[in-house]
């Protein structure tokens, strides 16, 4: 289903933490803007000049490097790890392990199946027993089995075609999702766990807020009251629920502009 709930949104939080670290540390990209799609996903705008100049083949290589879960719906096992785990996957596992118990075992209760299990143990207890079994039998040769399971349930799925296509249309920040009416807003990665997709303003809410702003200004004008000059100069959209998201966007652009000016100074 394309619908989301607070429980499954954790997957987007995990995805941003994993991919943002990889783009920053493994590829050196400094200017990354994460944007909520307005429905169930997130997009990352990488605005470094080196990223913008990548060819389609190079973009495909980046996407391939970041892809861990492979195989269609028919594939049962979609993650296969070598005996020596790649550092990028190791860092990703650190993120997944922080969220796995709460997301997969408690909220999603992935090991509960009424047809095959009696409710004598919780998913957490079953998972602990499974890990102990793996570590105490000949499955020691497959010591990464539990890690493969965690990654299959929690590692982000990339839209490779969007990532590699230089001419692929992308939803721009502050556009409106046609099915939900929610606005695609930037996400503050420093406050990632606090982001609530259900609190994101809709276009109808913003229109209502703008109407109220105009109404209040008309009332003040009729009563002879004058707003402070600083408030009069404030853009109307900054008087709405979009204000904190616009601030995130402006801060991102300021850093990008400073970086561009620094590059020009170095060349001069």
Give per-residue pLDDT as tens, 215-262.
877 776 666 566 655 555 678 888 899 999 999 999 999 999 999 888
Return mean pLDDT, the chain.
87
What does each C-alpha distance from 209 to 89, 119, 126 come to in angstroms? 45, 50, 50
**SS percent in the chain: helix, strand, coil, step 5:** 55, 5, 40
DSSP helix/strand/coil, 111 = coil
Full-model pTM: 0.85
For residue 66, with 0-12 CB atoms within 10 Å meaning exposed, 13-18 middle and 19 or more buried, which class applies? buried
Rounded to whole angstroms, the Cα distance separating 108 from 101 reads 10
Confidence grade of residue 140 (pLDDT, cut at 50, 70, 90): low
Domain hosting residue 97, numbered range: 70-157
Give a yes or no: residue 17 inside a domain.
Answer: no
Give a yes or no: residue 142 inside a domain.
Answer: yes
pLDDT of 96 reads: 97
What does each C-alpha distance from 118 to 106, 109, 121, 224 come to in angstroms? 17, 14, 8, 73
CA 223 distance to own-chain centroid: 47
DSSP helix/strand/coil, 247 = helix
pLDDT of 75 reads: 85
Please name which of 238, 181, 176, 174 lies closest in space to residue 33, comparing C-alpha atoms: 174
DSSP 24: I
Rounded to whole angstroms, the Cα distance separating 127 from 105 reads 8
Give a yes or no: residue 245 inside a domain.
Answer: no
Angle between helices 87-100 and 145-154 (to 10 degrees): 70
Which of 10-14, 189-193, 263-267 is predicted with the least confidence, judged by mean pLDDT?
A: 263-267
- Write the pLDDT tens digit of every residue in 95-137: 999 999 999 988 888 887 665 555 557 788 888 888 887 777 6
Question: What average pLDDT does the segment 83-102 reach?
Answer: 95
Question: What average pLDDT does the segment 4-25 reach?
Answer: 94
Higher-scoring residue by pLDDT: 162, 48: 48
Rounded to whole angstroms, the Cα distance separating 104 from 107 reads 6
Domains in the chain: how many in total?
1
Please name which of 209, 196, 208, 207 lies closest in space to residue 245, comparing C-alpha atoms: 196
Give a yes or no: residue 102 inside a domain.
Answer: yes
Give a yes or no: residue 128 inside a domain.
Answer: yes
Q: Please state the φ and ψ torsions of residue 36, each to the nearest 5 degrees.
A: -70, 135
Give a yes or no: residue 115 inside a domain.
Answer: yes
Higher-scoring residue by pLDDT: 232, 166: 166
Confidence grade of residue 205 (pLDDT, cut at 50, 70, 90): very high
Question: What average pLDDT does the segment 179-197 reach?
Answer: 95
Higher-scoring residue by pLDDT: 237, 47: 47
Give a yes or no: residue 251 inside a domain.
Answer: no
Residues composing the chain? 268
In angstroms and rounded to an integer, the radius of gyration of the C-alpha atoms of the chain is: 23
Give a yes or no: residue 29 inside a domain.
Answer: no
pLDDT of 154 reads: 95
């Amino acid at each position: 289903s394309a619908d989301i709930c607070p429980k499954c949104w954790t997957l987007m939080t995990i995805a941003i933490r994993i991919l943002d670290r990889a783009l920053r540390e493994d590829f050196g990209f400094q200017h990354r803007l994460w944007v909520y799609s307005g429905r169930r996903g997130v997009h990352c705008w990488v605005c470094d000049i080196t990223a913008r100049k990548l060819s389609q083949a190079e973009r495909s290589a980046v996407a391939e490097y970041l892809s861990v879960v492979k195989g269609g719906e028919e594939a049962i096992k979609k993650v296969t790890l070598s005996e020596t785990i790649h550092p990028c996957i190791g860092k990703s596992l650190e993120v997944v392990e922080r969220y796995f118990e709460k997301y997969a075992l408690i909220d999603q209760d992935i090991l509960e199946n009424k047809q095959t299990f009696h409710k004598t143990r919780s998913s957490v207890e079953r998972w602990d027993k499974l890990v102990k079994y793996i570590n105490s039998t000949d499955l020691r040769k497959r010591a990464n089995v539990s890690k493969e399971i965690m990654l299959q349930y929690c590692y982000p799925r990339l839209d490779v075609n969007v990532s590699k296509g230089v001419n692929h249309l992308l939803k721009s920040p502050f556009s409106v999702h046609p099915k939900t009416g929610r606005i695609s807003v930037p996400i503050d990665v420093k406050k990632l766990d606090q982001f609530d997709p259900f609190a994101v303003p809709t276009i109808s809410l913003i229109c209502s807020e703008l109407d109220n702003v105009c109404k209040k200004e008309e009332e003040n004008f009729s009563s002879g009251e004058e707003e402070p000059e600083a408030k009069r100069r404030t853009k109307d959209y900054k008087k709405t629920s979009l204000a904190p998201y616009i601030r995130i966007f402006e801060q991102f652009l300021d850093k990008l502009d400073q970086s561009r000016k620094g590059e020009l100074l170095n060349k001069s």
